[in-house]
């Protein structure tokens, strides 16, 4: 129900024609998993770095009954996540949540929730640079041909370079994947820790790049394989520590600085996951409250 006291916004901000255009792009993207579909990206009332591509995708698929969750680096409470959530609450009047399991649509920057996504859920990724070949081939005309002809040797050149310079594949986020054995795709700057979560996920995964005007998608149960070498196979980061708050293991941890004398601890990057565990009683006693400043170690979008 629309609040009659508000000015006459279009539902979810975008006009119906724009949403139809974007939905057509999304449908095409779903039909060709991993393929970057161009779309006419619109100006949004926020700067590009804020995920305007993801916001337009979300705006186009949002219905009045959807429940929206927005995360940034795993957290629901950062400025970016809070603003986008507030934006949709206002222009679409949809319900919002921080609970992964309760959301029908999750817009994300830089993480996939730890709680496995379910059939019927949609995850929308904010993408800064959609082109995985851009690193070595700046010409758009050329990268397009390379995708068309499946010429993906260059991706391995980058991985080779990693091993040569660092002794191992040092790419830790935006780690390139091959989709359904066909298109090489940039999964957006999620940590490679999250790459396996994309593989055969029952959720629909949509990727929106606003500045670069590209949409791509992974329909449910799509094969998503991280590229590697036979003798340097893909591996995810492993954390020695457990979450200092909920004692979780095998989850993606952030390093948190606790004081100015070098004190630090590791906590779940997925705030909802951590809180849910703690509310169910998985607690580690006597430690500071979660919500301390996060080490902003990943490159900002």
| # residues contacting another protein (CB under 8 A) | 18
Applying CB under 5 A, among 111, 265, 268, 271 the residue interacting with Zn ion is 268
| Euclidean distance between CA atoms 162 and 176, whole angstroms | 13
**Residue 268 binds which entry of another protein, Zn ion, none, CB below 5-8 Å type-dependent:** Zn ion
What string of DSSP letters covers 41-81? PPP-SS-GGGTHHHHHHHHHH--TT-EEEEEETTBSSSHHH
Q: Considering the complex, what minimum distance in angstroms separates the CB of residue 99 from Zn ion? A: 15
Q: Which is nearer to Zn ion, 122 or 243 (CB)?
A: 243
In angstroms, give the least distance from the CB of 97 to Zn ion: 19
- Helix, strand, or coil (residue 11): coil
**Catalytic, out of 49, 167, 246, 286:** 246
Residue 87 beta carbon to Zn ion: minimum distance, rounded to whole angstroms: 28
Contacting another protein within 190-249 (CB under 8 A): 228-232
Binding mask of the shown chain, residues 149 to 178, with x at each position contacting another protein by CB under 8 A: x-x-xx-xx--xx-xxx-------------
Of 9 and 160, nearer to another protein (C-beta) is 160
The beta-carbon contacts of 44-50 under 8 Å, at least 24 apart in sequence, are 44/13, 44/210, 45/13, 45/87, 46/83, 46/84, 46/87, 48/210, 48/211, 49/128, 49/300, 49/301, 50/80, 50/83, 50/84
CB 139 within 8 A of CB 221: no
**Which among 51, 54, 243, 263 is annotated as catalytic?**
243
Q: Which of 153, 262, 274, 286 is catalytic?
A: 274
Residues 271-290: x where in contact with Zn ion by CB under 5 A, - otherwise, as a string: ---x----------------
Tell me the C-alpha distance between 185 and 187, whole Å: 6
65 or 231: whose CB is closer to another protein? 231
Distance CA(52)–CA(58), nearest Å, equals: 10
Instruction: Pick the binder of Zn ion from 59, 81, 245, 265 (CB under 5 A).
Output: 245
274 noted as active-site residue: yes
Burial of residue 72 (CB within 10 Å: 0-12, 13-18, 19+) is buried
In the complex, the residues that contact Zn ion under the rule CB under 5 A are 243, 245-246, 248, 268, 274
- List the catalytic residues: 34, 243, 246, 268, 274
């Amino acid at each position: 129900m629309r609040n009659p006291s508000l000015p006459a916004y279009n539902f979810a901000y975008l006009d119906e024609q724009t949403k139809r255009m974007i939905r057509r792009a999304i449908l095409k993207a779903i039909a060709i998993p991993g393929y970057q579909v161009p779309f006419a990206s619109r100006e949004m009332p926020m700067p590009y770095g804020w995920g305007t591509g993801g916001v337009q995708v979300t705006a186009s698929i949002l219905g009045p009954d959807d429940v929206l969750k927005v995360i940034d680096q795993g957290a629901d409470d950062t400025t970016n996540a809070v603003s986008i959530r507030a934006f949709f609450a206002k222009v679409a009047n949809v319900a919002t949540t921080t609970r992964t399991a309760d959301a029908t649509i999750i817009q994300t920057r830089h993480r996939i929730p730890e709680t496995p996504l379910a059939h019927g859920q949609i995850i929308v990724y904010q993408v800064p640079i959609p082109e995985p070949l851009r690193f070595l081939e700046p010409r758009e005309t050329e990268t397009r041909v390379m995708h068309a002809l499946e010429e993906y040797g260059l991706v391995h050149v980058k991985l080779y370079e990693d091993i040569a310079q660092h002794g191992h594949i040092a790419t830790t986020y935006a780690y390139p994947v091959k989709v359904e054995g066909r298109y090489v795709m940039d999964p957006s700057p999620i940590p490679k820790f999250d790459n396996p979560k994309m593989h055969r996920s029952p959720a629909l995964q949509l990727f929106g790049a606003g500045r670069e005007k590209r949409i791509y998608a992974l329909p449910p149960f799509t094969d998503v394989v991280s590229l590697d070498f036979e003798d340097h196979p893909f591996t995810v980061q492993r954390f020695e520590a457990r979450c200092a708050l909920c004692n979780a293991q095998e989850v993606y941890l952030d390093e948190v600085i606790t004081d100015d004398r070098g004190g630090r601890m590791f906590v779940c990057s997925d705030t909802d996951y951590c809180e849910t565990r703690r509310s169910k009683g998985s607690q580690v006693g006597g430690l500071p409250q979660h919500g301390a400043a996060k080490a902003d170690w990943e490159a900002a979008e």
